[in-house]
Every structure is written in C-alpha cells, then in structure tokens.
Amino acid sequence: MRKNRLLALVIAGIMMTGTACGSKTDDEAEKQTPENISSLADEYAKKLGMEFDAPEGIENVKYTVDTKNHIGQVEFTESGVDYVLRMKKAERPDRNILGIDCEWDYDYEKRFGEYVVDIDRGHTDDKTVDLASWMFDDTDWIYTMATTNAGKEGVDITGVVGTIIDVHEAKYQEQLAAFSGLEVSQLPDSIYSSSTDQILSASNENGVISVTFETVYDYEGLIEGLPVNRRGTPIIPNFTISGNADEIEYGIIGVDSEFEANSNADEMIKILQDAINNPIPGCPSVDFSVENGKITRIWILYA
C-alpha cells in the first residue's frame, strides 16, 4: 500500500533517532497480520514502557522508539488513510510533539467523555493537515496525531482519535474491574481515605457496621497495580469496609486535629447515611485505618 510521504516531509524530524520495532519494507507491510502487528505492539510497549491503544484493523504499522528522549512513534493506515502519532510522558499537555511546521488556519476543542482533544487544521502548499493532541491523565502520557488527508471526503481524524480513546477507556475499566471487590483483609496496614460524596451505602446491623464507597484512595501507594484516577492517585473502586462495631473507634474532627475517639457507631453511620441523599458542603474526608486486616478506626475530617 502507498505510504503518505508528504506527511513525513511536513513533520520536523519524523525519522526519529531510535529503534524501529520490527520495521517493515513496503512488501513486508502488505503481509502484516493481526498476529505480527500484536507482536510489534508488545515489543514497542516493552521498549517505551507504555502501550499504544491501537484501533482494530489498522495496517502498515511501524513502531519506533526514541529511547534517549523517551518518545514513541506509530505510523499506520486506517480505512485507507495514513496517520502518524507520537506519545510521551509529560506533566502537562503539548499541542504538537510531532513538531509539524505549517500554516495553521483554525483550532477547536472536542470532548470525548472526560477527555478533551485539541484539534488544529493547517495547510502546506497543496495539502490540508489535521492535528489532534490530548492527554490521558491516568497515565500522564500525551499524544499528538496527524494526517495530511484532511479535508477529503470521509476523512475525519476525530473518528480515529475517538476509537483510540475508547480502546484506552475499555482497558481502564478492565483494570478497575480487576480490583473491584477487594477486601479489607487484603489491605496493607495503613490509613486510607475517601469522602462523603463517594458513599454508596452505610449500615449498622446486628453489631456489624458496613460502608461501601465508590472510590477509596491509597495515597501511600502501598497496593501494587492499582488503577489511578485523573489526578494520578491510586484508587480502590467499589470498596466495602466492615467490622464489629464495638471493636472500632470513631471520630469527628477538624483539619490539623489529631484523632480523637469522640463518636460512636450509630452517630457515624447516621452521618454517612444522610450524606448519600443530602451532600455535605465541602465533601469532608472519610478516613479509616487498617491494622492486621481489620478496621480499627473510622473518622470524618471536616475542613
């Protein structure tokens, strides 16, 4: 299949100094199969330290890793249209890590769920260029993708961007599901946090308290492999704490105050139950400590 060589010409330094992962000749590219594309992707992820969320059905795939600058590049064809994408870890978004040099005509933002993508359109002497830039906050990796087929009938860079985001989000949801249902007995000794707006249920029945949170935060990062939220904090999804009510200490304290056992199970559960339907201003933190696989303290921290 023909390669879009003009795309390489308008991108500064497109031939990155780095290692190509299974670089193919044009004839070999024609023979690529889903199996060897997957193998190339695995090699790329191992060298870069991050995988590319590849859409299904892409062809003519070429992976390159610049190990010195820790940048990955993927060239591929999707539905007969050629694209090039670069990705790297960064603290903030960058609109053009591809370094494309052309006249930019306009730009706009497009939202895909929780993700915001910057779209730029520009032109060279005889080609229209579309550039898409975004960041996955849960990994702190930024992406820039471009095509010079922009403006042609049926070509929409946002469609491919949306597919990449969908693939990424599906993997993220799988990661969340893998840790959903984690039990207190599996947690290392530490203090864990949530907030009153994350409470799904709270009860005190037959001397056993139970509180289910949509999200619990592992600020110490003690649990290996946890997914992270958009702020980069490791999270435990859909987590329930429970224990014998008379074996737990309860506290309602203010900021910068040390823990004080100044409450009881009934009062604590009532506050948490009320917070489900009547959100507490400021969404106070709900913290709990784990020792030897058991809940020993629960406290509400008001700002």
Q: Does residue 151 share a domain with residue 71?
A: yes
End residue of a domain, out of 137, 152, 172: 172
What is the tally of helices (H) and strands (E) in the chain? Answer: 5, 15
Q: Which residues pair with 192 in a beta bridge?
A: 288
Residue 295 · residue 285 · CB < 8 Å: no
Other CB atoms closer than 10 Å to residue 23's CB: what's the count? 12
Residue 26 is predicted with a pLDDT of: 40
Residue 272 is predicted with a pLDDT of: 96
Q: Does residue 207 share a domain with residue 130?
A: no
* One-letter amino acid for residue 22 of the chain: G
Average pLDDT over residues 237-266: 94
Q: Does residue 53 share a domain with residue 101?
A: yes
Confidence grade of residue 68 (pLDDT, cut at 50, 70, 90): confident
Residue 22 has pLDDT above 60, yes or no: no
Domain limits at 147? 5-172
183 sits in the region (left: phi over 0; alpha: psi -120 to 50; else beta) called: beta
Average pLDDT over residues 222-236: 88
Dihedral of the alpha carbons of 19, 25, 28, 32, in degrees to the nearest 10: 50
Q: Does residue 30 share a domain with residue 89?
A: yes
Q: Does residue 70 share a domain with residue 192?
A: no
Average pLDDT over residues 219-246: 92
259/152 Cα distance (integer angstroms):
64
Residue 225: partners with Cβ closer than 8 Å, 6 or more residues away = 179
Residue 72 has pLDDT above 60, yes or no: yes
Name which residue leads in pLDDT, 295 or 7. 295
198/273 Cα distance (integer angstroms):
11
Q: Does residue 123 share a domain with residue 245?
A: no
- Token pair for 268: 């604590």
Estimate to the nearest angstrom the gap between the alpha carbon of 102 and the chain centroid.
Answer: 31
Residue 96 is predicted with a pLDDT of: 75
Average pLDDT over residues 52-79: 91
Residue 294 has pLDDT above 90, yes or no: yes
Residue 27 is predicted with a pLDDT of: 39
Q: Could you give phi then psi for residue 165, rounded to 5 degrees?
A: -65, -40
Q: Does residue 18 share a domain with residue 151?
A: yes
Residue 138 is predicted with a pLDDT of: 85
End residue of a domain, out of 172, 190, 217: 172
pLDDT tens figures, 1-10? 333 444 544 4
Q: Does residue 9 share a domain with residue 120?
A: yes
Q: Does residue 215 share a domain with residue 111?
A: no
Q: Does residue 127 share a domain with residue 41?
A: yes
Q: Does residue 118 share a domain with residue 198?
A: no
Most confident of 43-52, 72-81, 142-151, 226-235: 72-81
Average pLDDT over residues 38-53: 84
Residue 36 is predicted with a pLDDT of: 63
Domains held by the chain: number: 2
Name which residue leads in pLDDT, 83 or 17. 83
Using CB atoms within 10 Å of the CB of residue 222, give its burial: 0 to 12 exposed, 13 to 18 middle, 19+ buried: middle
Residue 215 has pLDDT above 90, yes or no: yes
Q: Does residue 196 share a domain with residue 166?
A: no
End residue of a domain, out of 117, 152, 172: 172
